[in-house]
Structure 1
Amino acid sequence: MTQNIPLAVGLVLISSFCFALSAHLQHHAVDTQLSGNAQKQQMSFRTFLTAVRKPRWLLGLVLLGVSAVLQVTALFFGPLSVVQPLGLLAFPWSVLLAARATRTWVPPRTQLAVVVTVASTLAFTLVTGIHAAAESDLVMRKVIIGALIVYAVAALFATLGAKGPFAWRCLFWSSGGALFYGLEASMVKSIWEYVKTQSWPYSAAIFGILVALVVGAIAAGWYMQQGYATGPSEIVVGSMTVTSPVVAVAFGILVLGEGVGITPAAAALMILLGATAIAGVIGLTRFHPTYEHRAPEELGSTASGQVSP
């Protein structure tokens, strides 16, 4: 299929709004279910089953599905390292939705965190778009190794999300989910490249990638719900939309061979911009009103446990 980057960008723009609105609705459903949970500890599975029956949560699920379909379609028309970072636009969408819902102005420091994150990621996208290879070089062994590394790091983030300091739990949970989402995009791209070059109907490789897609989707969804249970939706969306493209771009460059045209100077600039974008999300975690007015001992709490329904 011929690449059409403008079409891919347009699809991702719509996808980003659907994702932000989905996060807003599902966070509201989960947060309402956990009312009175001052410590916002890890949500139990029974509590989750109660939350998912709420109409808002179900509508959010539909929007999440629409967002995913648009994102996958965009991958057919543009390079992974260009398409995936643009999902970051869900971040400012989510901040605006939260401000509208609470009828409050966005605090200046939050505005700065959003601007820094969006500007850095868009610049990151521009650099990768200029240097990204038009075609991918698929080596299945590299795909498997890359996926296992992502799974291992995501498991570490889950541990930190469940037992780490209170103020960082939401960030760890949502970043772990973002690792899976970044891998999902990479797996879809891998399937597309495999189908273009191999006989695939009875391929064990295709079956393995499909299993990885299903497992990753379930894990990512669970991580996101834990993020909603332990912090505001803006932090979930922010960390998801920064970590996910970083993973996807790294996978595209290191595994799919999309970085053959990247010069040392471009690589250094990409690292700097990626670090700045991540710093912006961390800044949102520190400056968000949900955390600003909590006592220091509460923010540093490392207590863990399950929330009762």
Structure 2
Amino acid sequence: MTDLIIAIALCVAVAIVYATAALIQAGYAHLTIRECTRVPLWWVAQLLNVAGAGLHVVSLGFGPLSLIQPLGVLTLVIAMVFSATRARRRMTRLETIGLVSTVAGLTGLAMLITTGGTPDTLSTGELTGLLLGGVVLVGLLAAKGAMAGSSALWEAAAGGIAYAICSALCQTFVVGLQTTGLSVLVTPFMLVAILAIGAFAVGGTVFTQRSYRDGLAAPLAVTNLVNPASATGIGVVFLGESVATTPTEIVLAVVCGALAAYGVTSLAKAREAEPVLQRA
């Protein structure tokens, strides 16, 4: 139970850091990535992302991937609260409904998710399969989003999957370090995993930054829904984790998932309407 509390507390801290970074990044969504690299404050956002990733890696040592990743949706909730505070206004009715629905849905999902034991690590075959599948899927989504006239949400989804793969690789790194020690760092397997973490982290950053070109709310909502969904799938398929299996648990999980999705959608709509409210 202590590990669970620590994992949840770390997840909340990660969400706060990521939400702050997202708000900063969204302010420069009109710039290209090359132009962003010339803005000092944009680099502050990247440092916050690194700090959030560090806290996220630590949290993976206290809980399973399929539990930790869904709590990442709190980033959108916190970003919405920060945005309202910065604008010195009260939360709208739609924002309040979205906030309550998201928190309720996530709480239910967190209580329903179970695991088959301590956090597992990827085998060589699983690492190869995950990397090949991840590169193909993320590449296709990113290419679709880069097409003229395409929705930015394609790149938001690509970013969410890239971050989920990073999380799975980070869990393998953390557990391997805990069980084997520093000697694991010089093994070919772990060196490939570390390089892949860096590659997918950079890709996730680029794709999410580009996805903000049409606004923050909807892309952030998509990223924070795709991320935990992908991570849960990776946890079940590759890491030996399990989710709700009884009929009652499945029904409750579906209800909680729908409630969280409704909440995130409401928050996205509320944030999309925010500029209109400010002009009125």
**What's the TM-score, normalizing by structure 2?**
0.83
1:158 to 142, 146, 150: 142
Q: Which residue of 2 aligns with 1:263?
A: 245
1:225 to 192, 209, 218: 209
Aligned in 2, Cα 1:285/1:15: closer, same or farther, shift over 3 Å?
closer
| Residue identity opposite 1:151 in structure 2 | V
Q: Does 1:51 pair with 2:36? A: yes
How far apart, CA to CA, are the structure 2 residues paired with 1:63 and 1:137?
A: 28
Residues 238-249 of structure 1 mapped to structure 2, 5 A cutoff: 238-249=221-232
Q: Distance in 1 between matches of 2:251 and 2:119?
A: 22
Identity of aligned residues (%): 22
Structure 2 counterpart of 1:177, one-letter code: G
C-alpha distance in structure 1 between counterparts of 2:252 and 2:144, whole Å? 30
Q: Distance in 2 between matches of 1:114 and 1:146?
A: 34
1:4 counterpart = 2:3: yes
User: Where does structure 2 lack aligned partners over 5 or more consecutive residues?
Assistant: none
What is the alpha-carbon distance in structure 1 between the residues aligned to residue 152 and residue 83 of structure 2? 16
Inter-CA distance 286–249: structure 2 relative to 1 (3 Å threshold) = same
Matched, 1:98 2:96: no
Distance 1:114 1:226 in 2: 26
1-structure distance, mates of 2:59, 2:111? 17
Distance 1:175 1:290, change over 3 A: farther
Could you tell me which amino acid in structure 1 is paired with residue 20 of structure 2? L
Distance (whole Å) between structure 1 residues aligned to residue 106 and residue 234 of structure 2: 17
- Report the CA distance between 1:201 and its aligned residue: 4.4
Tell me how far apart the structure 2 counterparts of residues 26 and 208 of structure 1 sit (CA, whole Å). Answer: 29
Partner Cα distance (2:148, 2:261) in 1: 19
Q: Check whether the contact 1:176–1:220 (CA below 8 A) recurs between aligned residues.
A: yes
The Cα offsets for residues 96-128 of structure 1, whole Å up to 9 and x where unpaired, read as: 111223334433234333433332222112111
Partners of 1:176 and 1:119 lie apart in 2 by 27
Secondary structure class of the residue paired with 2:241: coil
Higher alpha-carbon deviation: 83-92 or 192-201: 192-201
Which residue of 99, 118, 138 corresponds with 1:135?
118
Q: 2:155 aligns with which of 162, 173, 179?
A: 173
What TM-score, normalized by structure 1, do the two folds share?
Answer: 0.76
Q: Deviation at 1:8? A: 1.9
User: Corresponding residue for 1:113?
Assistant: 98
For residues 251-307 of structure 1, the C-alpha deviation after alignment (integer angstroms, 9 at most, x for no partner) is 111110011x742433454355335434543444455435996xxxxxxxxxxxxxx
- 2:218 is matched with which residue? 235
Contact 1:231 1:290 in 2 (8 A): no
Structure 2 contact 116–241 (Cα < 8 Å) conserved: yes
CA 1:288 to 1:161, structure 2 compared with 1: closer, same or farther past 3 Å?
farther
Unaligned runs of 5+ in 1: 35-42, 294-309
Contact 2:17 2:49 in 1 (8 A): yes
Over the aligned positions, Cα root-mean-square deviation in angstroms equals: 2.9
Number of aligned residues: 272
Q: How does 1:1-40 map to 2 (within 5 A)?
A: 4-28=3-27, 30-31=28-29, 34=30
Contact 2:21-2:45 within 8 A present in 1 as well = yes
Q: Which residue is 2:165 aligned to?
A: 183
Give how far 1:56 is off: 2.3
**Following the alignment from structure 2 to structure 1, what is the Cα–Cα distance between the partners of residues 269 and 253?**
24
Q: CA deviation at 1:175?
A: 2.3
Give the 3 Å change call, closer, same or farther, for CA 253–224 of structure 1 in structure 2.
Answer: same
Residues 247, 283 of structure 1: alpha-carbon distance in 2 compared, 3 angstrom cutoff = same
The question of 1:274 aligning with 2:257 is answered yes
Contact 2:156 2:207 in 1 (8 A): yes
Cα deviations by residue, 1:57-88 (Å, 9 ceiling, x for unpaired): 12212221211111111111222222222222
Report the counterpart of residue 64 of structure 1 in structure 2: 49
The 1:155/1:217 distance shift into structure 2, 3 A limit, reads same
Q: Which amino acid aligns with 1:178?
A: G
Residue 149 and residue 124 in structure 1: after superposition, are their counterparts in 2 closer, same or farther (change >3 A)?
Answer: farther
